[in-house]
Amino acid sequence: MKNEKPSPEQKLFAKSVIKIISPQLEQFKFKLHKKTVTKYSTTVIWRKGEQYIKVVSTTYPPDGLYYNVILGEGDSDDFFEYDWNSCAIWALAKIIAPKAKVFSYDFPFDDSVESSVKAANNDLLLYGETFLKGDLTIFYKARAKRNKKRQPYKIHTPDENGVYTTKDDPISTEKKKKYS
């Protein structure tokens, strides 16, 4: 998958994300950090110090067709760190406006790409405003609420008889304690 050619729909999505969201984030001193576009996914990351904004999409059939706007702190490239130390914009919306109808976004195609990305950008500016300005209070509440409900990842290990034992993954256990 590393050398796969980006699909036209992911290329269009990435181009729209950069065109629409980058200028807004630059006003808050976020700088484009990384852009990865593949056949089935796009990841665009902007950073400001320890904070980051990440837009991730998938069109991989088993995953579904959606994208998210994610806010995080720390290492945006380390799986365990970003998995436990981030949350989607809809999680902040649930804290700020509990009745808001903000969720993951359906992956847009063709003529709907720009309007969908503009709507996601509006949600980011509305519900992520304090985060963008450097106040992580609401982000911490949303992250803790999300992580308290989650279980650490499990490790299933067979013994010599093929009987499996299950234990909590120590890294995700540590991250759960730290970020809940």
| Domain locations in the chain as residue ranges | 8-149, 153-180
Statement: the pTM of the whole predicted model exceeds 0.95: no
Tokens 């109808």 map to which residue? 101
pLDDT by residue (tens digit) across 61-84?
999 999 999 999 999 888 888 999
Tokens 């300005």 map to which residue? 133
How many other CB atoms are found less than 10 A from the CB of residue 141? 16
pLDDT by residue (tens digit) across 11-66?
999 999 999 999 999 999 999 999 999 999 999 999 999 999 999 999 999 999 99
- Look at residue 102 in the predicted model and tell me its pLDDT: 92
Give residue 4's pLDDT band: very low, low, confident or very high (50, 70, 90): confident
CA-to-CA dists, residue 109 to 11, 54, 70, 112, angstroms: 11, 20, 21, 6
